[in-house]
Amino acid sequence: MEEAKPIHPESLEQPTPALISEAILFVQQIYATYGWYILGSVILGLYVWSKVKPHYEKWRKQKEDDEYAAKVHKNPDLYRARQEAIVAARLRMQEEHDRMAKVKAERAKELEDQKREDWIARQSGSGGQRLGNQQNISNTEPQPGPSKKKSSSFKPEYNPLMGAGSSGGYRPQKRGCPGGGCGKK
């Protein structure tokens, strides 16, 4: 009898095709041999491009302007249509700006009227509540919580963040000359 051939291969990993592995090795050899030259060329190319780019942009813009001028020379209605579109866009933007300015002016006038009313109410003494005033006109019920003012055993001018008071606190020694010298004989 013949031996049965296995259905599955011994290894489930796909071998890398020879063409791809040779291409990868070729690129690695090029980088290993000429890597610094490639890096220098890229840096030099970027430097030259940064110097040439403004001139290229100017040339390209001039070319586009010349092409547009040629189109307008052949068809003057194109220029007129473009100018009318620009004027219409400016009018739309101006109308939007005017509308926003009107809304802002109305808000400013309302705010000014509110300030004036508040000022008149403060002057007549009928409006507003001063800070620290315990009487609340709308709520006549007593406030919950302690009603006595807590007394402090500290002096009223005491502030714990100011230091230890009149004792002066810790002061380090004056720094002398290292080694005890300093020119004394």
Distance of alpha carbon 79 from the chain centroid: 41
Band of the pLDDT at 5, cuts 50, 70, 90?
A: confident
Q: Of 52 and 7, which is predicted with more confidence?
A: 52
pLDDT at 15 over 80: no
Please state, for a pLDDT cut of 90, what percent of the chain lies above it.
44
Work out the angle at residue 122's Cα, subtended by the Cα atoms of residues 120 and 125, and round it to the nearest 5 degrees: 110
C-alpha distances out from residue 107 to 35, 45, 103, 119, Å: 67, 58, 6, 18
Q: Does residue 139 fall inside a structural domain?
A: no
Q: Does residue 138 fall inside a structural domain?
A: no
What would you measure as the largest C-alpha separation in the chain, in angstroms? 120
Q: Does residue 95 fall inside a structural domain?
A: yes
pLDDT in tens, 107-127: 999 999 999 999 988 888 755
Q: Does residue 156 fall inside a structural domain?
A: no
Q: 58 lies in which domain range? A: 18-123
Cβ atoms of 39 and 46 within 8 Å: the answer is no
Q: Does residue 98 fall inside a structural domain?
A: yes
For the four alpha carbons of 125, 129, 130 and 134, in that order, the dihedral sign comes to positive
Length of the chain: 185
Q: Does residue 160 fall inside a structural domain?
A: no
Q: How many domains does the chain have?
A: 1
Q: Does residue 61 fall inside a structural domain?
A: yes
Residue 131 DSSP class? T
Q: Does residue 96 fall inside a structural domain?
A: yes
Lowest mean pLDDT among 1-5, 85-89, 93-97: 1-5
